Amino acid sequence: MSKAELKKVRDKLSKDLEKIIRGTIQKVVLPKRGKVVSGEVQSAEAKQEAFAKRFLAGRFHGLKDAPAVVTSFFFAPHSHVDYDLVGESVRDLFRTNPEVDSDAYAWKGDNTITEFSLGGYLHRACVNDYRAMLNQRHFLGKTGVPAANELILHAQPLHRNIVSGVMAIARFLNRLHIKTPWQIAISLVGMKGYWPLDDAGNPARRPFGNDIHHLPVLRLSNATVLEDGMQAGLFLKPALESLTRSVGWEFNWYYSSPGVFSLRV
């Protein structure tokens, strides 16, 4: 066989092999990868539902105030993380000492309770918006001005609490070198009947209709995205737009310009 014929055979074999590899990637590898990601999201959604119900039932470290923003991060187990590093990180970042049981750490912050397990999750419940509502009621009661509707929540601090909470969790997990990908699940619990107000004080078209309202689960591959408030807001856009649409607002005004999250966090 001549060199030209040999080259022709090699080229044909190379092209055939490329077709086989490409076909395998398209028919086997990519679908399997898609199933893995889909399975992760479904698993995260099931865990999100379980935690929201646990909180609503008053079984999250005794915290019973509602409404609340409950946030979960799910990740691969990291049993190698040093226990002393966990306690040190909690004290440095949250200025408190964690309580420890057989498989998890828990600590209290300003209107928050956090539970963390090296088995692969972190749960956080924040009742800032509930406490702000109580303060507003108290103030109006002192002035003698009746509240038009006691079941109200201001959209701006609600958005800010969601974004800042996610960023705080990310700082903690980065401190422990918890590797991505992370599944991030946010739920609004105890919200039934509450009316969000926009920045001008106008109510949404409708109140929250259920006690538990889940925002879409998001998958994060690059943790540096959550180091900056604007970037964190952009990453959370699908969740925050879902929030405003659920109460009848057609758009989320904090994304008025492409690639911009206008709320300062």
pTM, two decimal places: 0.79
For the chain, domain boundaries: 53-255
Residue pLDDT, tens place only, 93-152: 999 999 987 679 999 988 899 999 999 999 999 987 655 555 555 444 444 444 556 788
* CB within 8 Å of 45: residues ≥ 6 apart: 185, 214, 217
pLDDT value of residue 40: 54
Q: Which residue has the higher pLDDT, 234 or 128?
A: 234
Instruction: Provide the terminal-to-terminal Cα distance of the chain, rounded to the nearest Å.
Output: 72
Q: Read off the pLDDT of residues 29-45 as tens digits, 9 standing for 90 and up.
A: 334 434 444 455 568 99
Residues 181 and 227: their CA atoms lie apart, in Å, by: 16
d(CA 244, CA 101): 38
In whole angstroms, how far apart are CA 257 and each of 227, 253, 261? 21, 9, 8
Mean pLDDT of the chain: 83
- Provide the pLDDT confidence category of residue 22 given band limits of 50, 70 and 90: very low
pLDDT digits (tens, 9 = 90+) for 194-224: 999 999 989 999 999 999 999 999 999 999 9
Q: Classify residue 161 by burial, with Cβ atoms within 10 Å: 0-12, 13-18, 19+.
A: buried
